[in-house]
Amino acid sequence: MGPTLDDEPDYDAAAAALERAKGTLRTRVGAGTGVRFTPTLTFTRDTTTDSVQRMDELLAKARAADADVARVRVGAQPAGEADPYRDSGSAVEPASGTLNGLDAKGSGDDDRPED
């Protein structure tokens, strides 16, 4: 019984067969294209399908991880305030004249001489 589609291809044997047939194939390409000088033929393994399969696996993992996060988020509540970045008013406190603990100039460094 011969190889099936489930068997791992013998890439080395295929490369050797193409190398042996290179002269014949080059002659046929030249005759079929009608060019005066037939270019040299080089055969390389196309690994695009391997890359596509790997990308599909990675995307499936990412989708599964996204679905897990979505399941965890259902009914979840924030640990702190609903909007911790909400501006609760002016950053300058009028009574002290400071800006978040800094003097009104914003330097916060009274020991440094002025420039």
pLDDT tens track for 3-59: 677 788 889 999 999 999 999 999 999 888 888 888 889 999 988 988 999 999 999
Is 90 part of any domain? no
Give yes or no for residue 113 having a pLDDT over 80. Answer: no
The whole-angstrom separation of Cα 74 and Cα 80 is 17
Is 104 part of any domain? no
Q: Higher confidence at residue 99 or residue 49?
A: 49
pTM: 0.40
Q: What single letter denotes the amino acid at residue 40?
A: T
Is 80 part of any domain? no
Q: Is the domain of 36 the same as that of 55?
A: no
Is 1 part of any domain? no
Is 57 part of any domain? yes
Q: Is the domain of 20 the same as that of 31?
A: yes
Q: Is the domain of 37 the same as that of 14?
A: yes
Q: Higher confidence at residue 32 or residue 80?
A: 32
Which helix or strand (DSSP H or E) is residue 92 part of? strand 92-93
* Domain tally, the chain: 2
Is 107 part of any domain? no
- And the tokens for 52? 């596509």
- And the tokens for 85? 């970045």
Is 79 part of any domain? no
Domain that holds residue 58: 45-74
Residue with tokens 């099936």: 4
Is 34 part of any domain? yes
